[in-house]
A and B are shown apart, each in its own frame.
Chain A
Amino acid sequence: MLTPPLLAAAAAPAAHAAAQQPAIPLSWYLAVALILFAIGSIGVLARRNALTVLMSVEIMLNAVNLVFLAFARFQADMTGHVITFFVIAVAAAEAAVGLALVMGLFRHKKAVNLDQMSALRS
């Protein structure tokens, strides 16, 4: 099977030596995913713009996908890829409903600030 050169380089350590450390250890991927998740959750906690909060949730979902794919690669198990596919589908559904909610709230309140959305009925 033909693979692009970048992929071949990534898979190379696994191919020629079993005992050798991989070029990029698992902990680096996990550290990047943790930092992205932290950025996303800080966005959800500290920002009050509804659209920015939705985008921060997308960053968090992306970080979780990265963790799934990292473990899938290091345990040579394809299940992580399938779960990533499902997470992407759920994120699409979440974005569609979330943006529809933001539009409905904007029509009602003329604002997208979450501090002004504290009433169950008005």
Chain B
Amino acid sequence: MEFIQIVFWLLAAGAILTSLMVVLPRGRNPLYGALALILSFFFVAGIYVLLVAHTMAILQILVYAGAIMVLFTFVIMLLNLSKRELGEESKNLAQALGVGAVAFIIIKSIIIVDASADSVGGDNLALPKGFGTIESIADQMFHRHLLSFELIAILLLVAVIGAVVLAKRTL
């Protein structure tokens, strides 16, 4: 077992455990889930670093853990939910069937991926110079994907206006 593999398994186990802590505990204040989710984003950012995507790892921490999760914790604390307002979470057969179907599909796909994915990219795994740097990402983004970039800007503007309108006290 190489050192880098141990690092990978630690990061993967941390990401999976903290994600489970978001989803599994029923009827608990979602604030605990939000804090676990912040940890999960940090673990996944560590896996990004192993994939030579260090710019994306920084962006993940800045945008996900820094901006989105601050918004989540802010809203959760603003709502200040009581036990009664959290409500009883229903359990029925449809949910159990859905969970079973998801588990079956994912186990099946892990078996398929394990058998076939490692031939992707062939034997030559050499990376071009500057792979994963801000410079090469910007080069791609402002040449090949310029239209998508502008559309994302418009989408964010629409989201900001939509959020303000939706959250206003009187519509």
Contact = CB atoms under 8 A, between A and B. Distances in A.
Real binding pair: yes
A113 B79 CA distance: 13
Contacts, number: 271
- Say which size band chain B's interface belongs to: 35 or more
The interface residues of chain A, by DSSP majority, are classed as: helix
Given A48-B87, A78-B131, A85 B41 contact: no
Interface string A77-115: 011011011101111111111011111101100111101
Interface in A42-63: 42-43, 45-49, 51-52, 54-56, 58-59, 62
Q: Which among B15, B78, B86, B103 has the highest number of chain A CB atoms within 10 Å?
A: B15
Contacts of B155: 89-90, 93
A68 to B, nearest CB: 9
Interface of B: 2-5, 7-8, 12, 15-16, 19-20, 22-23, 26, 30, 33-34, 37, 40-41, 44, 47-56, 59-60, 63-64, 67-68, 71-72, 75-76, 78-79, 81, 85-90, 95, 98-99, 102-103, 106, 109-110, 113-114, 117-118, 120-121, 123-133, 136-137, 140-141, 144-145, 148, 152, 155-156, 158-160, 162-164, 166-167, 169, 171
